[in-house]
Structure formats: C-alpha cells, structure tokens
Structure 1
Amino acid sequence: MGKHVLVTGGSGGIGRAVAQSFATRGDDVVITGRDAEALARAAVATGARDAPCDVRDPTAVEALVAGLGRPVDVLVTLAGGNTDFDTPGAKPTDLPGIADAWLANLGANLLSTVLTVSAVVPTMPSGGAIITVGSIGAEYASTSYGVAKAAVQAWTAGLAADVGPRGITACCVAPGYIEGTGYFRGRLAPERRERLVAATHDKRPGTPDDVAALVLFLASEGARHLTGQTLHVNGGAHTTR
C-alpha cells in the first residue's frame, strides 16, 4: 500500500501537479479545495480523491481529517494565495479596510496551514512528512501576503522541532514566479512577467512540476534528515548562502 497523502489547494496549479506526482507513483492521494466542481475535475485528471473543504474553517478541517479513514503520512499545505487580488484594495487611511485585507491573507495562508497541520499531526506516524508552502514574497515582506508567507516559514521551522522526536519532518517550499497557475488572477502584465523571468539565473519561469518534484523528494526516504528548512524554488531570483 502506498502512502496516504493529503494535499490542500489541490484543484489546480501547483497543488494539482503535486497530487499527480504522488498518485502516479501509487500513493493514496486526497485533495481539498473550496470549488467542488474544479476539485472533482482535478481528482479525475490526477487519480486523487476529492474532499471539498475550506481549510480556514476549524470545524470543516476537523470533519475533513475525521473522514479520511487512516492517518496521513504526507501532508502538503498548498491552500492559500494572495487574497489582495480578490479586492480593490484599501486606501492608506482606511484602517478597517487594511485590517480586513491583512486578516484575509493571514487566514488564507497562515491560519489554513496551522489548522490543517494541527488536525493531522496527532495521528501522523513516524516517517511522516509535512511540507508547507511559503513564497519568494516572504523575502520582501512589505505586504500582507508576504508577511503571511514569512510567518508560515517561521512557524514551520518551530514545528520541525516539535515533531522531530516522533520521526516526522517539516519543511517549507518557497516558490518564486511559477507559470501555469491562477496566482495572478489574469492580472500579470507582460512587462512584469519579463522582469520576473529576467530576475532568474536560468532565464525561465518556474513550472508547477518544478515545485512538485521538490515536494516529492521531501516526502521521500532520501530526505529523512532534512527538516526545519525553507527551500527556495525560484531559478535563483532569490538566493541564500
């Protein structure tokens, strides 16, 4: 029997590619998302099982995990995205609007991750792997999205220390510009795309498969001593030392 894998935000883009990667090797994959129709299509395409869920909702997350049937071996928390693209944006003097915008991104990215991990970890067996998702935007955290992703990265480092004695790893994958996702909601101007690609060392956009390959490795036996890290997938647009 393959591993039991839960992928949040699995209806498209990176999440769908991750689900496909695990399903192709014979794992039992469950994908979540808020759009039940898109999720069902992704399940058919990838061979995963669909479980509609808003992972910002504690009750929904509890019900999701209770209905899985067996402990999760690999958890990948891809639900999120920049909620600023869904609103016209608050004026600098609109404090209630600013509060709503920040809470939306914190809920979509940080809270969704914390809730899902908290629900899954108690029954995760030794040898389990938790892969959260940050962003290159966390390195320039002047926006609510960047701050939310920076918080995910910091929280994952602390999580690794908590679960490590149980034989569970926890790492964060931080993508740069990844083409073929709905991140920009169709609002990426050609000029900005050119700048994003030019910032890379390999002069190409990333793909969902680039991220999926790293996630697959982090869940493998070869990565059992790799934990508490943020790993960047951005073609060198942001480098570490």
Structure 2
Amino acid sequence: MPRTVLITGGTSGIGLAAAARFAADGADVTVTGRRQETVERAAKELGVHGVVCDATEPRQIEALTARLGDTRGTLDVLVNAAGGLPRAATDDGSPLDEVRAQWEANWAQNLMTAVLTTTAVRERMAPGGTVTSIGSIGAERGGGGYGAAKAALAAWNAFLSAELGPHGVTANVISAGYVENTNFFGDRLTRERHDALVAETHNKRPGTPQDIAETVFFLASPGARHITGQTIHVNGGAYTTR
C-alpha cells in the first residue's frame, strides 16, 4: 500500500518540494496551506490532496484531522513545513506592543504550527512512521524572535522523540540554511545579502528546496530508522557541528 503523507505549508518552497518527492514515490499525499488558491494550485500541479488549513489555528487543525479520519496508525509521514518570517508588526500601540506582536507571530508560525499539528495527529501515526519539522540555521546564529522560535522547535523535538520512540515513530528537525526559490524573504532579499549568504557556505551555492526535500525523504526511509531526536543541519557548511 502507498504511504500516507501530510505536509503542512506544502504549497510552496520546501513543503511543495517535499510533496513532489513523496508523490513521485507513489505516496498518498495531502498538503495544507492558508490560501485556497495556492492549495488548489499545488494539489493540481502534483496530483495530491489539498486542504486549506492555517496551522496556527486549533479549530482549523481539528477540521483537518477530522477529514483525515479517526483510524489509528494510518499516517506514515508528517512534515511540519509551515512557518516563515512574519512581516513587520503593524500594531499601532507602543514599541513594546510591536515587539510582543512580532515575537508572538514568530512563536505561532514557527513553533506552534508544528506542536499543534503533531499533537492533533499523533494517535494516527503508524509504527515505523516519522515526524520531520523544518527548522533553521537562525536557531544557532541569533535571529531574534524567529531564531528563538526555531531553537524552541529543536528543544521540543527532543521531547517529542522520547514520547514517540516507544511507538516506533521517529522525530527529527532539519535545520536549513539559506534556501533560494522560497517565499521566506519575500521582496526583502537584496543581491548583496544573497551573495553574502552564499559566500558563507563551503560549497559556494545556495540551498534548494529539493536539497531539503531529499533529506526529508531519507528520514522517512528504512535507512533512517535509528535516527531520532536529532537536529540535522543542511546548509552547505554555513554552520558546522562536531
């Protein structure tokens, strides 16, 4: 039987590339996104299921899980790819109100999307299944509210791995470096910034969504069954570990 795969934030960038990789392998893939038009476009492009769901909203996640059905042990792969860099706060309050709004937006988009979705579907995870969450090099290098949220994601993942491990489910974070062809920077990435990010790498090229998608796919393979509770850095050497 084909594997069942759920990918949040699966309508563009890394999430879309991961959906394409699993779909090419014959998996039964469902992607989610916040906007109807992008969900429909991705679903049609890849031949997968699409569900409109804002993963920061508990009621929408509950509606998503209801659509997946109540059968335990039927979800093989969960990819928490929803997230991103929130736009500047537009709060008209004090500077502290604006700081709080920005940090709360980062927390919601880059941590709680994964926590809420995983909590909602964990009873549906099949033995031998895997949960992969998309982190960031920003967790290691500052990054303000965004980096702090991604650092918290890695800390939560270690806890999640210990909980899911006895049930035969692995949990890992992929810490991505600079990845081109995503919506992360929007129109805020200058040529100078792009060149500086590429120069930091050892192989002198930007990452691609496919680089991350292939790592996601490997973590869901039989060869990765003893890899869990880890933060795996995929950044061309821009940040190294030992």
TM-score between the two structures when normalised by the length of structure 1: 0.96
Identity fraction in percent: 50
Query: Is the aligned partner of 1:79 residue 2:82?
Result: yes
Deviation at 1:212, TM superposition (A): 0.3
Query: Partner of 2:4 in structure 1?
Result: 4
Rate the CA distance shift 1:3–1:231 in 2: closer, same or farther, 3 A.
same
The structural deviation recorded for 1:51 is 0.5
Unaligned runs of 5+ in 1: none
CA shift for structure 1 position 59: 1.0
Q: Which residue of 2 aligns with 1:66?
A: 66
- Does 2:38 align with 1:38? yes
Deviation at 1:90, TM superposition (A): 8.0
Q: Aligned pair 1:237/2:242, yes or no? A: no
For structure 2, the 5+ residue unaligned runs are none
| Correspondences of 1:1-241 after superposition (within 5 Å) | 1-69=1-69, 71-83=74-86, 86-87=87-88, 94-241=95-242
- State the secondary structure of the residue aligned to 1:7: strand
Q: Counterparts of 1:98 and 1:128 in 2: how far apart (Å)?
A: 38
| Kept in 2: contact 1:20–1:47 (CA 8 A) | no
Structure 1 position 141, deviation (Å): 2.8
> Contact 1:11/1:33 (CA < 8 Å) preserved in 2?
yes
Deviations 1:77-128 (A, max 9, x none): 0001011xx225789x711111111001100111111000001111212111
DSSP 3-state at the match of 2:33:
coil
Separation in structure 1 between the aligned mates of residue 39 and residue 139 of structure 2, nearest angstrom = 28
Query: C-alpha distance in 2, partners of 1:60/1:144?
Result: 25
* Alignment-mate amino acid for residue 32 of structure 1: T
Does the CA contact (< 8 Å) of 1:89 and 1:101 recur in 2? no
Q: Distance in 1 between matches of 2:36 and 2:225?
A: 34
Deviation at residue 223 of structure 1 after TM alignment: 0.4
**Contact 2:53–2:61 (Cα < 8 Å) also in 1:** yes
How far, CA to CA, are the matches of 2:127 and 2:42 in structure 1?
Answer: 30
**1:202 to 1:125, Cα distance in 2 relative to 1, 3 A:** same
Q: In 1, Cα distance between the equivalents of 2:76 and 2:119? A: 14
CA offset at residue 186 of structure 1?
Answer: 1.5
Moved more, 21-30 or 68-77: 68-77
Amino acid at match of 1:81: G
Q: Give 1:21's aligned amino acid.
A: R
SS in 2 for 1:225: coil
TM-score norm. by structure 2 comes to: 0.95
Contact 2:132 2:173 in 1 (8 A): yes
Q: Distance in 2 between matches of 1:147 and 1:223?
A: 28
* Partners of 2:4 and 2:75 within 8 A in 1: yes
